[in-house]
């Protein structure tokens, strides 16, 4: 078989689109961002509990008292695990995606229901959209739309569109042909046949489709979180990055609360807006004579007034409580409110250094925006110019592929920590394994596996191409491609049961302080010299912000400083990184002036 | 002038329909066409319907009768031929003009009622008027009238799914009548109802028709129904009209074996009337007596009953009381036994009365 260079064509296609249609992508991006910002501003303006109250009244109105109370309890739970802002930005993301999806899906479904050709063309496209793994188009999405919420929303739309189209088409096709014929026989225009007969009768199915759109959208928020979508997805991504089961569960439960609320509410709304649904409801109600307290539903007027009052209170409190935050004044203010965006991979030294710089730069009068990304998204975003700086580039080995691809769009501001090292590690209870040489012949013990991380990571290439070969371990051991969280979870599991396990690991890493591990010696030096942890900026950043550029260039931390800061962050808890940094800076007076001399 | 005229109508589904019409005109059969993947649903159908007439199209499923009906109001466009409605060629109209005709002049009643489940009974009955653009109060008044006409007064606020099948079809009928259309197309409208209700509905339709004098094209696969309702009946088979005539024509003079086999199951005594079996009076002064007589339109079954009560041939008198013929008992018996020949003489001539036989 000749090798079909399909991938190259796609590569060229993406390049071509990027260079010729960037105006279109910018426009889409602007519209989607505008929508998202507007909705997010509205949703996150009120006090959490007041807004939970509004949502509860809506649930009470549409489904009854029990639903209202449960809704309030659910949202109160989200607030009490300090994920309210994340939940609201996730809700905004899902709402925008749903809105756009419906605007596209319903007309497309109607069209497909009326034309066999359209239906035949659309179907494989929908299959493609639904089954293509999201990461495959997320990275091009970043190239087109930049990191942030937009590619997350676009990915959600791509994933959630198919059921919207399919259910609309199905709903309309399911309408009894005799009814459509009856409408035509009485001289109804095609347009009115659609509006007065087909759409009303298809509405229950279409609403089921909308419901699916929302649920699929929510299931995509984690993926969106990996490309800077933030919200609960970001929290989940951060949690799995650190094998933080507690935070993961909290964020996951928050997603579930949102999902259940949206599912029940759209379901009830579907019954309310469709004439057939209202009929069925009225029928059911006439069967159950006695009204019960937990089924009680207020009159629409009461509900509207309730929502309005809560909204007004919320609005009033927003105006009164929204006193402007005091900014830094005086000689320290060299930033004059200029914006700098920092991106980071959820690795401990990345989190620590990023929040350290956020605090330092804010004290110098800059407005600093911090966002977490998946590594590929981070580099793509920097190359695209949406992210200014990141402090966690492992060069020249670990992040070699990204560096090679984007080096002429990036500035290397030098290494602030190092050297790091790459290694295979085993738990220290593996008494007779101290060096890579010792692995030979013990394959059976380790189930012939080396638990690896993301196959794109530089160290995985070295491991497969060099390390195993040099030590004659090829054939005996198989490297398991996976993810860093997966590797850490496997380590945790095996460690707890004292099972033999060998993992790919690097220093510095918190795993070394959490577990008693042994780095396997590398007498042949196959891993090469260790990486430095570099600070990278987008091209042109130092020219725009010469002061910050100089500060970053001179930045270094000792191992003692770094582990101390990391430990502080671990102790203070998730979501309070900046507080931890402040506390740590108090213990290290003078460091701010050393890092950012005036 | 006839209200509705079908003029050499063809409907062919599939590829190159026009070519197929040429072939059909050239004498090629339906089955040969089907081998090419084209289906001739209606082949060369021509008939006229007079104002106030009920024209029934009778045929088994697949005979093309529903396709034929849908060409009459333009839901299907004929492949060839014309449909003249009050002299206007429907096939030449633009879609918009055709919709106007359908909204104002032709209405339709469906087999499975086709009521809109998301509209109340009143809103269903008012649907055609809504399309016409009649104001709300006006159309509700007229829809309520139509419902009352169909015996559904008081059910306006109900929903279709709360009604029985017969009542639902009355709503369908009311919806069709509310628009004041001249032509009513009824597509197997009573076939989905159970037999008793079906009979009720047939009676009610005939009753309404006496008052309203609409022109009705009625499709059915039930010959008894066709005979009961139809002033004129077209029998269809495999897309062609094989016989066109009155119920009597079809019963007495079936055009071919197919029609003949069809009418075997028909209860002829309920379809044919005194007119069909009477003869010229043999003896003078017949009908002068005060004995019971029948009208020319009385079904044969009833004539039999009368014949059992009177001692001589039953007199048939028109509505002015003039004698138009008599029905001797031998003719009635011959008719029921389907015997066309006259009775032969007995081979032992002599006075044979019932008394003598009893003695022997």
The per-residue pLDDT for range A471-495, each reduced to its tens digit, is 988 888 988 888 887 888 888 888 9
Beta strands at A478-480 and A389-395: parallel, antiparallel or unpaired: unpaired
Residues paired with residue B96 on neighbouring β-strands, in sequence order: none
> For tokens 């300090």, what's the residue?
A82
Counting one residue from chain A and one from chain B, the pairs whose CB atoms sit within 8 A come to 61
- By three-state DSSP, how is residue A533 classified? strand
Task: Name the residue in chain B with its Cα closest to that of A200.
Answer: B118
Beta strands at B232-237 and A478-480: parallel, antiparallel or unpaired: unpaired
Q: Residue A324: pLDDT band by 50, 70, 90 thresholds?
A: very low
Point out the residue among A184, A201, A275 whose CB comes nearest to the CB of B75.
A184
CB B206 within 8 A of CB B218: no
B-chain residues near A275 (CB < 8 A):
118-119
User: How crowded is residue A370: how many other Cβ atoms within 10 Å of its Cβ?
Assistant: 16
Closest Cα in chain B, distance from residue A279 (Å): 8
Point out the residue among B75, B131, B179 whose CB comes nearest to the CB of A181.
B75
ipTM of the shown complex? 0.79
A-chain residues near B110 (CB < 8 A):
178, 181-182
Listed residue (A366, A374, A378) closest to A537, CA to CA: A378
CB B157 within 8 A of CB B122: yes
Alpha carbons B53 and B214: distance in angstroms, whole number: 7
Interface test with B, best of A178, A185, A199, A270 (most B CBs within 10 A): A185
Q: A179 vs B114: CB contact, 8 Å cut-off?
A: yes
Least confident window among A30-39, A241-250, A532-541, B216-225: A241-250
Q: What is the pLDDT of residue A331?
A: 61
Q: What angle do CA B228, B234, B240 make, to 5 degrees?
A: 150
Strand order in the sheet with B4-13: B39-49, B4-13, B80-85, B88-89
Listed residue (A359, A302, A347) closest to A591, CA to CA: A359
B-chain residues near A187 (CB < 8 A):
99-104, 128, 131-132
A408-444 pLDDT tens trace: 999 999 999 888 888 999 999 998 889 998 888 888 8
Task: Name the residue in chain A with its Cα closest to that of B175.
Answer: A186
pLDDT exceeds 70 at position A588: yes
Write the CB contacts of A136 (distance below 8 Å, at least 6 apart in sequence). none
- By three-state DSSP, how is residue A371 classified? strand
Residues paired with residue B59 on neighbouring β-strands, in sequence order: B236
Q: Digits of tens for pLDDT over chain B (360 positions)?
A: 688 999 999 999 988 888 888 888 888 888 888 877 888 899 999 999 999 999 999 988 888 899 999 999 889 999 999 999 988 899 899 999 999 999 999 999 999 989 998 899 999 999 999 999 899 999 999 999 999 988 888 888 888 988 888 899 989 999 999 988 999 999 998 988 888 888 888 998 998 898 889 999 999 998 888 888 999 999 999 889 999 998 888 888 888 888 888 888 777 787 788 887 888 877 777 777 888 888 888 888 888 888 888 888 888 888 888 888 888 888 888 888 777 777 787 887 665 555 554 454
Closest Cα in chain B, distance from residue A182 (Å): 6
Write the CB contacts of B7 (distance below 8 Å, at least 6 apart in sequence). B46, B81, B82, B83, B84
- Compute CA distances A103 → A126, A164, A171, A174, A270, whole Å: 16, 10, 17, 22, 17
Q: What angle do CA A91, A96, A101 make, to 5 degrees?
A: 125
Task: Name the residue in chain A with its Cα closest to that of B172.
Answer: A182
User: How crowded is residue A124: how many other Cβ atoms within 10 Å of its Cβ?
Assistant: 9
In terms of Cβ atoms closer than 10 Å to its own Cβ (0-12, 13-18, 19+), residue A451 is: buried
Interface test with A, best of B116, B119, B129 (most A CBs within 10 A): B116
Q: What is the pLDDT of residue B352?
A: 56
Q: Residue A328: pLDDT band by 50, 70, 90 thresholds?
A: very low
Q: A176 vs B114: CB contact, 8 Å cut-off?
A: yes
Q: Which fold has domain A20-318?
A: MetI-like fold (1.10.3720)
Alpha carbons B272 and B254: distance in angstroms, whole number: 14
B-chain residues near A200 (CB < 8 A):
118
User: How crowded is residue A352: how many other Cβ atoms within 10 Å of its Cβ?
Assistant: 29
Q: A186 vs B179: CB contact, 8 Å cut-off?
A: yes
Task: Name the residue in chain A with its Cα closest to that of B159.
Answer: A279
B-chain residues near A185 (CB < 8 A):
73, 75, 102, 106-108, 185
Closest Cα in chain A, distance from residue B267 (Å): 33
Q: What is the pLDDT of residue A322?
A: 46
CB B274 within 8 A of CB B294: yes
- By three-state DSSP, how is residue A499 classified? coil
Q: B185 vs A185: CB contact, 8 Å cut-off?
A: yes
Closest Cα in chain A, distance from residue B148 (Å): 21
Q: What is the largest CA-CA distance in chain B?
A: 84
A94-127 pLDDT tens trace: 999 999 999 999 999 999 998 999 999 999 999 9
Listed residue (A90, A47, A56) closest to A264, CA to CA: A56
pLDDT exceeds 80 at position A139: no
Burial state string for A296-327 with b = 16 or more CB within 10 A and e = fewer than 16: ebbeeeebeebbeebbeebeeeeeeeeeeeee
Write the CB contacts of A408 (distance below 8 Å, at least 6 apart in sequence). A539
Terminal-to-terminal C-alpha distance of chain A: 65
Q: Which CATH architecture has domain A421-519?
A: 3-Layer(aba) Sandwich (3.40)
Closest Cα in chain A, distance from residue B40 (Å): 22
Alpha carbons B192 and A494: distance in angstroms, whole number: 70
Structure tokens at A278: 């209202």
Q: B100 vs A187: CB contact, 8 Å cut-off?
A: yes
Bond into A396 cis (ω within 30) = yes
Q: What is the pLDDT of residue A323?
A: 45
Task: Name the residue in chain A with its Cα closest to that of B179.
Answer: A186
Q: What is the pLDDT of residue A397?
A: 79
Residues paired with residue B184 on neighbouring β-strands, in sequence order: B107, B216
Q: What is the DSSP letter of A544?
A: H
Task: Name the residue in chain A with its Cα closest to that of B161.
Answer: A279
Q: A188 vs B99: CB contact, 8 Å cut-off?
A: yes
Q: What is the pLDDT of residue A506?
A: 86
Point out the residue among B103, B110, B185 whose CB comes nearest to the CB of A187.
B103
Point out the residue among A178, A189, A275 whose CB comes nearest to the CB of B99.
A189
CB A433 within 8 A of CB A376: no
B-chain residues near A201 (CB < 8 A):
116-118
Alpha carbons B177 and B208: distance in angstroms, whole number: 10
A-chain residues near B117 (CB < 8 A):
201, 276, 279
Structure tokens at A374: 């998946």
pLDDT exceeds 80 at position A317: no
A-chain residues near B75 (CB < 8 A):
181, 184-185
Point out the residue among B75, B102, B118 whose CB comes nearest to the CB of A201.
B118
Q: A187 vs B128: CB contact, 8 Å cut-off?
A: yes
CB B191 within 8 A of CB B66: no
Task: Name the residue in chain A with its Cα closest to that of B69.
Answer: A185
Q: Which fold has domain A333-415+536-595?
A: D-Maltodextrin-Binding Protein; domain 2 (3.40.190)
R_g of chain B, CA atoms, integer Å: 25
Tell me the average pLDDT across A285-307.
69
Please give the domain boundaries of chain B with CATH numbers for all domains.
48-268 (3.40.50.300), 270-336 (3.10.580.10)
Q: What is the pLDDT of residue B336?
A: 80
Helix axes A84-114, A199-219, angle to 10 degrees: 140
CB B12 within 8 A of CB B76: no
Residue ranges of domains in chain A? 20-318, 333-415+536-595, 421-519
Q: What is the pLDDT of residue A107?
A: 94
Alpha carbons B167 and B155: distance in angstroms, whole number: 10
Bond into A508 cis (ω within 30) = yes
Q: What angle do CA B290, B296, B297 make, to 5 degrees?
A: 120
Point out the residue among B99, B116, B159 whose CB comes nearest to the CB of A187.
B99
pLDDT exceeds 90 at position A25: no
Listed residue (A235, A89, A77, A223) closest to A156, CA to CA: A223
Alpha carbons B198 and B220: distance in angstroms, whole number: 12
Q: What is the DSSP letter of B273?
A: B
Task: Name the residue in chain A with its Cα closest to that of B114.
Answer: A179
3-state helix, strand and coil shares in percent for chain A, rounded to the nearest 5:
65, 10, 25
Q: B161 vs A279: CB contact, 8 Å cut-off?
A: yes
- By three-state DSSP, how is residue A108 classified? helix
Closest Cα in chain B, distance from residue A304 (Å): 26
- Compute CA distances A511 → A138, A348, A457, B236, whole Å: 30, 10, 18, 87
Task: Name the residue in chain B with its Cα closest to that of A179.
Answer: B114
Q: B127 vs A187: CB contact, 8 Å cut-off?
A: no
Interface test with B, best of A175, A178, A182 (most B CBs within 10 A): A182
Point out the residue among B106, B112, B118 whose CB comes nearest to the CB of A200.
B118
- By three-state DSSP, how is residue A323 classified? coil
Point out the residue among A178, A274, A279 whose CB comes nearest to the CB of B110.
A178
Q: What is the pLDDT of residue B185?
A: 93
Residues of B with CB under 8 A from a CB of A: 73, 75, 99-104, 106-108, 110-112, 114, 116-119, 127-128, 131-132, 159, 161, 175, 179, 185
Helices (H) and strands (E) in chain B, counts: 17, 13
For chain A, give the percent of residues with pLDDT over 90: 25
Q: A279 vs B117: CB contact, 8 Å cut-off?
A: yes
A194-244 pLDDT tens trace: 998 999 999 889 988 989 999 988 888 877 887 777 788 888 887 877 677
Structure tokens at A217: 């959208």
Q: Phi/psi class of residue B291: alpha, beta or left (left: φ > 0; alpha: ψ in -120 to 50)?
A: beta
Alpha carbons A253 and B223: distance in angstroms, whole number: 68
Alpha carbons A172 and A556: distance in angstroms, whole number: 65
pLDDT exceeds 90 at position A170: yes
Bond into A419 cis (ω within 30) = yes
* Same fold across A333-415+536-595 and A421-519: yes
Alpha carbons B145 and B147: distance in angstroms, whole number: 5
Give backbone dihedrals phi and psi of B279, rounded to 5 degrees, phi first: -125, 175
B-chain residues near A197 (CB < 8 A):
116
Q: What is the pLDDT of residue A327?
A: 46
Listed residue (B58, B60, B25, B55) closest to B40, CA to CA: B25
Give backbone dihedrals phi and psi of B211, rounded to 5 degrees, phi first: -85, -45
CB A136 within 8 A of CB A201: no
Give backbone dihedrals phi and psi of B157, rounded to 5 degrees, phi first: -85, -5
Alpha carbons A82 and A94: distance in angstroms, whole number: 20
Q: B114 vs A178: CB contact, 8 Å cut-off?
A: yes
Least confident window among A81-85, A221-225, A579-583, B295-299: A221-225
């Amino acid at each position: 078989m000749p090798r079909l260079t399909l991938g190259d064509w796609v590569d060229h296609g993406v390049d071509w689109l990027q260079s010729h249609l960037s105006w279109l992508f910018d426009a889409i991006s602007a519209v989607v961002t505008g929508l998202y910002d507007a909705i997010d501003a509205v949703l996150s303006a009120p006090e959490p509990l007041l807004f939970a109250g509004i949502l509860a009244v809506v649930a009470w109105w549409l489904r009854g008292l029990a639903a209202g109370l449960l809704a309030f309890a659910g949202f109160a739970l989200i607030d009490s695990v300090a994920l309210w802002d994340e939940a609201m930005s996730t809700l905004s993301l899902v709402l925008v995606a749903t809105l756009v999806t419906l605007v596209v899906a319903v007309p497309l479904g109607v069209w497909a229901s009326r034309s066999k050709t359209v239906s035949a063309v659309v179907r494989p496209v929908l299959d493609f959209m639904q089954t293509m793994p999201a990461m495959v188009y997320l990275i091009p999405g970043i190239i087109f739309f930049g990191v942030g919420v937009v590619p997350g929303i676009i990915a959600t739309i791509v994933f959630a569109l198919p059921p919207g189209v399919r259910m609309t088409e199905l709903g309309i096709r399911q309408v009894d042909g005799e009814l459509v014929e009856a409408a035509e026989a009485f001289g109804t225009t095609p347009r009115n046949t659609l509006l007065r007969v087909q759409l009303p009768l298809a509405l229950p199915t279409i609403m089921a489709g909308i419901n699916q759109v929302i649920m699929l959208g929510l299931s995509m928020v984690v993926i969106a979180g990996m490309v800077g979508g933030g919200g609960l997805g970001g929290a989940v991504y951060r949690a799995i990055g650190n094998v933080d089961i507690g935070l993961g569960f909290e964020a996951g439960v928050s997603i579930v609360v949102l999902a259940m609320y949206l599912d029940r509410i759209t379901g009830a709304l579907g019954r309310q807006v469709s004439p057939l649904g209202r009929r069925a409801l009225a029928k059911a109600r006439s069967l159950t004579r006695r009204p019960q307290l937990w089924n009680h539903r207020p009159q629409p007027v009461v509900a509207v007034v309730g929502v309005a009052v809560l909204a007004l209170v919320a609005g009033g409190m927003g105006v009164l409580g929204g006193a402007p935050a005091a900014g830094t004044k005086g000689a320290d203010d060299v930033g004059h409110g200029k914006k700098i965006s920092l991106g980071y991979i959820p690795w401990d030294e990345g989190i620590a250094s990023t929040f350290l710089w956020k605090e330092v730069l804010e004290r110098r009068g800059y407005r600093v925006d911090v966002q977490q990304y998946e590594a590929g998204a981070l580099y793509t975003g920097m190359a695209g110019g949406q992210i200014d700086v990141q402090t966690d580039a492992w060069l020249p080995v670990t992040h070699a592929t990204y560096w090679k691809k984007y080096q002429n769009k990036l500035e290397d501001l030098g290494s602030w920590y190092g050297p790091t090292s790459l290694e295979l590690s085993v738990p220290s209870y593996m008494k007779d394994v101290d060096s890579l040489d010792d692995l030979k012949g013990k394959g059976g013990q380790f189930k012939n596996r080396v638990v690896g991380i993301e196959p794109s990571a530089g160290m995985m290439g070295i491991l497969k191409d060099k390390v195993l070969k040099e030590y004659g371990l090829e054939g005996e051991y198989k490297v398991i491609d996976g993810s860093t969280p997966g590797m850490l979870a496997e380590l945790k599991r095996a460690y707890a049961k004292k099972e033999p396990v060998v993992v790919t690991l690097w220093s510095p890493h918190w795993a070394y302080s959490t577990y008693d591990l042994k780095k396997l010696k590398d007498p042949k030096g196959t891993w090469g010299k260790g990486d430095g942890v570099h600070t990278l900026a987008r091209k042109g950043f130092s020219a725009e912000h010469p002061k910050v550029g100089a500060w970053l260039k001179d930045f270094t931390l000792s191992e003692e400083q770094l582990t101390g800061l990391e430990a502080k962050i671990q102790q203070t808890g998730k979501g309070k990184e900046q507080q931890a940094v402040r506390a740590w800076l108090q213990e290290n007076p003078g460091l701010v002036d050393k890092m950012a001399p005036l | 002038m006839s209200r509705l005229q079908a003029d050499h109508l063809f409907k062919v589904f599939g590829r190159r329909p026009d070519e197929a019409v040429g072939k059909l005109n050239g004498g090629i059969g339906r089955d040969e066409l089907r081998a090419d993947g084209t289906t001739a649903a209606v082949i060369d159908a021509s008939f006229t319907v007079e104002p106030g007439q009920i024209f029934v199209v009778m045929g088994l499923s697949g005979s093309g009768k529903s396709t034929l009906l849908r060409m009459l109001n333009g839901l299907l466009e004929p492949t060839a031929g014309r449909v003249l409605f009050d002299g206007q060629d429907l096939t030449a109209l633009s879609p918009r003009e055709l919709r106007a005709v359908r909204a104002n002049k032709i209405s339709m009643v469906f087999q499975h009622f086709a009521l809109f489940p998301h509209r109340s009974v009143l809103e269903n009955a008012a649907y055609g008027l809504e399309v016409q653009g009649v104001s709300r109060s006006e159309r509700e008044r007229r829809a309520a009238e139509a419902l009352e006409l169909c015996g559904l007064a008081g059910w306006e606020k109900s929903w279709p799914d709360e009604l029985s099948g017969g009542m639902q079809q009355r709503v369908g009928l009311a919806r069709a009548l509310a628009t004041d259309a001249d032509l009513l197309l009824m597509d197997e409208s009573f076939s989905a109802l159970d037999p008793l209700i079906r009979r009720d509905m047939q009676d009610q339709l005939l009753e309404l028709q006496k008052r309203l004098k609409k022109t009705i094209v009625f499709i059915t696969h039930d010959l008894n129904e066709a005979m009961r309702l139809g002033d004129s009946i077209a029998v269809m088979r495999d897309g062609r009209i094989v016989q066109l005539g009155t119920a009597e024509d079809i019963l007495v003079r079936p055009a071919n074996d197919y029609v003949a086999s069809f009418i075997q199951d028909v209860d002829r005594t309920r379809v044919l009337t005194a007119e069909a079996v009477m003869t010229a009076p043999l003896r003078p002064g017949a009908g002068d007596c005060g004995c019971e007589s029948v009208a020319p339109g009385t079904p044969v079954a009833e004539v039999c009953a009368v014949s059992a009560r009177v001692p001589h041939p039953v007199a048939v008198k028109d509505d002015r009381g003039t004698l138009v013929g008599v029905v001797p008992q031998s003719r009635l018996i011959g008719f029921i036994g389907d015997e066309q020949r006259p009775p032969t003489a007995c081979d032992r001539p002599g006075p044979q009365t019932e008394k003598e036989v009893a003695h022997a």
